[in-house]
Amino acid sequence: GHVSDGVVVSTLSAFSLELTVPGSVTPCAGTTVVAVAPTHRRQGFLRQLMMRHLEDVRDRGEAIAALWASESEIYGRFGYGRATRSAEISIKHRSPALSRHAPQPVPVRLVDPDEARALVPSYHDRVRSGQPGMFKRSEAWWEHRIFSDLPSRRRGYTAARWAVVDGSQGIEGYARYRVKGVPSEDNHPASEMVIWELFADSPEGWAGLWSYLLNHDLVREFTARLRPVDDPIFDLLAGPRRAQLKVNDGIWVRLVDVPAALESRSYQSDFTGVFTVHDPVGMSGGSYELQASPEGATCRSTNASGDIMIDIEDLGSIYFGEPSLRRLARAGRVDGDPAVLKAADQAFGWEPRPWCPEVF
């Protein structure tokens, strides 16, 4: 950060994360706590901090950086691209019915925080290792960001409640949620529920956890935060319109070392082509030949002319497996032969779709 007359006027920090990318995990700088005092705006402090940060990321050998943007207009100019989407799901109908196609829900069991400590972290670690956009939680992260439950931080909600689905090798799903009483319109008690985490391994597990949550008596509104846009709830409900979706950007990704970043992920089909990359801060621009297949990838700097002309921001936006080159081309942000863009979109695409369920 910067200090002026003994007062801190700007800050920037970073977590050293282990982030899941398509087919692999890789070190990543989690850019965070970026702020400039209102008395020192428009003096270049943010640009100085970001450049120093990206240089530090490069020197540590982390090929990518990622962040959650407080303002979505800011970070594209530093090369961060919108790489995942994050949804808020709101359901106001009490006890909505599941579809006739929904599987029989499996039983759900409530556990106290001590049992959750014993069961949940290992399950979460398994889930995150296959989900692009998720990161490994350290022991300190679990203790201070997840299990710490000070009343002063609950905002009127109950202590965190934990519900799990049991399996033969441990749990096969869990939910973390809270409930808060709200004013009643008909003299009956009323509550709202906020769901902070929800994972399951199977259709029966998803049906079990969602059915359990949505059938709480006296709860008139359910809000699930930081969900994927393709959450199973939309296919589990008999009336999917009961679940209203509000979509925002999720994490933004910046490729610092382009060849290392492109080589560290997997691809779902063959692709060979040259990306000519523009970098607004002059750090990672150039032309790069990518030879990718489901078996692996190599990427190197080249003097060859580009098959795809792209900004580093938009290369970051497709990196986690949300292919959008043809969409970006329609908006004039990417240039290339349509057949090449189609082949690249197919190669970069991934299942499951990228999703980061946690702000850092």
Q: CB–CB of 86/247 below 8 Å?
A: yes
Separation CA 81–CA 315 (nearest Å): 7
Q: Order across the sheet with 109-111: list the strands.
A: 109-111, 161-167, 170-182, 190-200, 219-227, 85-91, 243-249
Phi and psi (nearest 5°) for 182?
-135, 160
Phi and psi (nearest 5°) for 174?
-160, 160
Q: CB–CB of 205/172 below 8 Å?
A: yes
Token pair 């197919």 is found at 346
Report how far apart, in Å, the C-alpha atoms of 352 and of each of 129, 133, 143 are.
Answer: 12, 10, 28
Nearest in space to 12 (alpha carbons), one of 83, 82, 74: 74
Q: CB–CB of 347/319 below 8 Å?
A: no
Nearest in space to 11 (alpha carbons), one of 29, 32, 41: 32
For the annotated catalytic residues, the residue numbers are 75, 360
Separation CA 245–CA 231 (nearest Å): 10
